[in-house]
Amino acid sequence: MIPASVEPPRLYRGLRRFDVISLTVNSIVGAGVFAMPAGLAIGAGRYSLAVIFVAFLVVALLALSLAEVASRYDVTGGPQYYAKDAFGPLTGFAVGWLFSLSSLASTALIAQVMLDYAAALWPTLAAAWPRAIAITVFTIALAAVNVRGVTRGAWLGNLLTIAKMLPLGLIALAGLWFAGWNDIPATEPRQPDGIVDALKIAIFACVGFQVAAVVAGEMRDPRRDLSISILGGLAIACLLYLLLMLACFGVLPDTAASALPLLDVAKAFIGPAGATLMAAAAVVSCAGGLAVQMLVVPRYVYALGEAGDLPRLIAAVHRAFHTPHVAIITYTAISWLLTITGTFKYLLTIFVITRVLAHGSTAAALIVLRRREGPAPVPMPGGQWIAVAALLCCAAIAFITTWTAIRDVAIALAIGFVIRRWVRWRAARSNIS
């Protein structure tokens, strides 16, 4: 028996403000940045930069809501925890389920972007069967590494993300040097849904800010640094994206006509070696993102199983490696299937609507918690109005989303609740017997 005077071990609070800002920037700037220039130029044309600003406005409203709500909880957690505390376990499960769905779609999107850039290095990967074989081998390898141990998975994720920021930073500086406002394309947005598609790509490229809230329990001073870290990371990512777009517009004669604009910009500056370097950086960056996804997302699924919301088998831990191997294998199989069968546009739509709805729950929680518990330790000026504006943005995005995607997300949520109900019914029946 542990003496009452002995406190249980706690997470080490070693993260400084700079650490969390860097973590936020690294989380935001992922595979989306490599898909964004062409997607925005094709869909939005002359309004490409305006679409980026709109996306960051929406994300900033969600981030400000998150910053206030997260300041109430001096623990490691995230939107799922906040929703459960504000609205109860059913809403907490729904948010966790939505995050799991969005993570599966995100994994498939990252894999498709990685394969597009890998085809620039090895053209054989442009064909369907080689792409399928390549992503199958890569996915199985990642799963095997993570089943064998969390330390190996974290090491692999860190190794694969090292090469991301340097080439992007160089091209961004080139955009600041070479490009001007006169280089913005004069083409009109693609009809009928070009701007909507461009906004989805921009939002996909801008999310990731929630990692600061997730690691709040390991920050030295979360109440002081959390909001600054979230907004600072967003601002740096926004500036980087704007400069990258200006570089593409300033260097390429027609950004919309380029399948891989960042690769073509690097080629214009350095020659074929620049194109090879950028393609390799994109592949490594996407591979790093997939490694992180494989490390983190199965733990969400495992947590749902451990909480009794999914079958207990999901929460099984490998006897030798002490990893959630069933959750890893389940996540691997579903994400692989989505990568093979899903189109980029459909996966993008599913990702945006599920992630926006999940973050919208945090904006709603801000209003509820202010009324129930009073001001937060780090209150946002006009916080309730910010939350209302964030919810209106979420509603607008849901409104412009295709009914097919909304239907599919609703079906997926319904399936989740049916599984949860069945699991809890069986557990209750087992306890009675």
**How many CB atoms are located within 10 Å of the residue 257 CB?**
12
pTM of the model: 0.79
Output 377-384 pairs: Cβ under 8 A, ≥24 positions apart. Answer: 377/71, 377/72, 377/223, 378/67, 378/68, 378/71, 378/223, 378/224, 378/226, 378/227, 379/68, 380/64, 380/65, 380/67, 380/68, 380/227, 383/64, 383/65, 383/68
194 within some domain? yes
1 within some domain? no
Digit-coded pLDDT (tens) for 298-321:
877 877 787 788 888 887 887 777
**How many CB atoms are located within 10 Å of the residue 417 CB?**
14
Helices (H), 88-149: 89-121, 128-148
Digit-coded pLDDT (tens) for 328-385:
888 889 889 888 887 888 888 888 899 899 899 999 999 999 999 988 887 888 889 9
> Quick check: 239 and 246 in contact, CB under 8 A?
no
pLDDT band at 221 (very low <50, low <70, confident <90, very high): confident
Task: Show the tokens assigned to 273.
Answer: 């070696």
Domain tally for the chain?
A: 1
User: Which residues lie below 8 Å from residue 43, measured CB to CB, with a gap of 6+?
Assistant: 51, 189, 190, 194, 195, 196, 197, 198, 201
pLDDT band at 8 (very low <50, low <70, confident <90, very high): very low
Digit-coded pLDDT (tens) for 398-430:
888 888 888 989 998 999 999 999 988 888 877
- Specify the amino acid at residue 194: G
The rounded Cα 160 to chain-centroid distance in angstroms is 17
Digit-coded pLDDT (tens) for 136-152:
998 888 888 777 754 44
pLDDT at 266: 86
Residues of the domain holding 342: 17-423
**Residue appearing with tokens 């991301």:** 164
Would you say residue 326 has pLDDT above 80? yes
412 within some domain? yes
6 within some domain? no
348 within some domain? yes
236 within some domain? yes
Mean pLDDT comparison of 25-29, 139-143, 185-189, 369-373, highest-scoring range: 369-373
Assign residue 397 the CATH number of its domain.
1.20.1740.10
Q: Which of 51-55, 90-94, 276-280, 311-315 has the lowest mean pLDDT?
A: 311-315
223 within some domain? yes
